[in-house]
Amino acid sequence: MLTPAQKTNSAALAFLAAGSIWLLVGTLYGLVSAIQLVAPEFFNNIAWLMFGRSRPVHVNTVIYGFVINMLIGCGLYYMPALLKCRLWSETMAWWSFVLWNLAVISGPVSFAYGYSQGREYAEYIWSADLAITGAVVLLAINSVMTILNRKENFLYVAVWYFVATFLWTGFSYPLGNVIWHPSTGAMTGLLDSIILWFYAHNLPGLVLTPLATGAAYYVIPRVARTPLYSHTLSVIGFWTLVAFYTHIGGHHIIQAPIPSWMRNIAVVHSMVMAVPVFTVLANLWLTMRGAGGRVLADPAGRFVVAGSIWYLITSIQGSAQSMPELQRVTHLNNWTIGHSHIAVLGFVGFIALGCMWHVLPLIVRRRIYAPRLINMQFGLLTTGLTGFFVVLTAAGLIEGHGWYNGETVYRTLAEMPTYMGLRAAFGMSIIAAAVVGLYNFCMTVWRGEPFTPEYVVEPEEDL
């Protein structure tokens, strides 16, 4: 009898399950943080729930726990399927799963006790950094070996994005987390800020964006049942992402005394980011020509299309807020928090969920337990996120203009409880979506109606 680690796609399923669970845990910590921005005394000084601890748990859990887990799970399914072979090593994929999720678990545990490396998006303690690096290296080896052993010559662009994520993260994660300084995980002074934002920018740019883009490239043509519009456009989109996204982290610290060449490159190339963004979006949307109705009628397809629209909004906003003049108003206030949520949940999270709902039935060979629950999850997320975006952008503009006009923080602070209260309320809609999704996931795995997929590409040995 096969052990779980030998069963085809078992590691992919484990990553998807972990992503669904972390979505709920992560958003609950978001609510804990949000409540304190309305009523700071609410948790009566219980140390492990204080904002300084709950916020990093929230941010790291939703990023590393929810979106990345889910997108790795999707990729571990679609990469071998596209290459018409088995994953090179299911056991190695399980080790990646264990290492990755030990690191994610370390968040709520170590941050609760106040152990954190204190640099945004690089808070995990040293042992967790080692676990993540190990997981990434194993995923890189496994992906490369799967490609080398493939039965399909053509390397579809989704495979490019998936393997590239691990090849470059194997370098950028240890570098950005200053892994050679175990006690602090940091360098000193301005250099630390530059290194941190090089990495923290590459986290969305070279982990979240390629994983989400690869997943969208997999789902859209399958749901539309048409070939990809253009292979050339997909290659242009891939290489321009590498060319422009890698070195624009300086736009996070425009106001700091970084070298002016670094600032200029960061600002100019943030505008040029329009090239990879529009190339990818044009390619995906043109693939849907004449099949838009079919894609939107599919619950998973709808999620991915909505994710692509959030990507458009995120990127237009991102390029605009890279301009120093605009950033005088938008920097260091809730405007950026609005951007982060539409980016990580709207763009990446929606595509992760869409791809997960698409591949889950193919992995477990069971139909989705209740497709209308996917639609309900979509509605709850769209309501919550749109509310977040409007409320946080408005709050950010009030804060930013107050500061710009020389008003004290005490004046604008008095206006914030309404906005922060609305954010907490909209957040509950997102949490409800996480509950509905987790229920539907578990019921599909255990109770979904068994079926044989009609157009699934399978490794030969499995036929």
Interface ranges with ligand HEM (CB under 6 A): 23, 27, 30-31, 33-34, 37, 55, 58-59, 62, 66, 120, 204, 208-209, 251-252, 270, 273, 277, 314-315, 318-319, 321-322, 327, 330-331, 336-337, 339-341, 343-345, 347-349, 424, 427, 430-431
- Decide: helix, strand or coil at residue 118: coil
- For ligand HEM, the closer of residues 94 and 111 by Cβ is 111
- For ligand HEM, the closer of residues 146 and 177 by Cβ is 177
- Decide: helix, strand or coil at residue 269: helix
Q: How far is the CB of 128 from ligand HEM (least distance, A)?
A: 18
For residue 323, count CB atoms less than 10 angstroms from its CB and return exposed for 0-12, middle for 13-18, buried for 19 or more: middle
Q: How far is the CB of 19 from ligand HEM (least distance, A)?
A: 10
For residue 183, what are the contacts with CB-CB under 8 A and spacing of at least 6? 126
Residue 367 per-residue DSSP state: -
Q: How far is the CB of 278 from ligand HEM (least distance, A)?
A: 10
- For ligand HEM, the closer of residues 58 and 366 by Cβ is 58
- For ligand HEM, the closer of residues 59 and 363 by Cβ is 59
Q: Which of 34, 38, 42, 32 is nearest to 415 (CA)?
A: 38
Q: Which residue has the tokens 């206006």?
A: 415
- For ligand HEM, the closer of residues 195 and 364 by Cβ is 195
**Tokens, residue 431:** 């949490």
Q: How far is the CB of 2 from ligand HEM (least distance, A)?
A: 34
Q: How far is the CB of 51 from ligand HEM (least distance, A)?
A: 8
- Decide: helix, strand or coil at residue 450: strand
What is the C-alpha to C-alpha distance for residues 219 and 156, in angstroms, rounded to an integer?
Answer: 13
CB 226 within 8 A of CB 192: no
- For ligand HEM, the closer of residues 95 and 278 by Cβ is 278
Q: How far is the CB of 91 from ligand HEM (least distance, A)?
A: 30
- For ligand HEM, the closer of residues 144 and 312 by Cβ is 312
Integer CA distances (angstroms), 351 to 17, 199, 210, 378, in order? 16, 23, 11, 11
- For ligand HEM, the closer of residues 302 and 366 by Cβ is 302
What is the C-alpha to C-alpha distance for residues 189 and 42, in angstroms, rounded to an integer?
Answer: 36
- For ligand HEM, the closer of residues 435 and 456 by Cβ is 435
What stretches of 354-441 adopt beta strand conformation (E)?
Answer: none
For residue 162, what are the contacts with CB-CB under 8 A and spacing of at least 6? 75, 78, 79, 143, 210, 211, 214
> Could you give the residue ranges of the DSSP H alpha helices within 225-298?
231-245, 260-272, 274-287, 292-297
Q: How far is the CB of 380 from ligand HEM (least distance, A)?
A: 11
- For ligand HEM, the closer of residues 50 and 337 by Cβ is 337
Q: How far is the CB of 426 from ligand HEM (least distance, A)?
A: 7
What is the C-alpha to C-alpha distance for residues 254 and 323, in angstroms, rounded to an integer?
Answer: 9
Integer CA distances (angstroms), 421 to 6, 40, 366, 409, in order? 49, 12, 41, 19
Q: How far is the CB of 204 from ligand HEM (least distance, A)?
A: 3
Q: How far is the CB of 168 from ligand HEM (least distance, A)?
A: 15
Radius of gyration of the chain (CA): 21
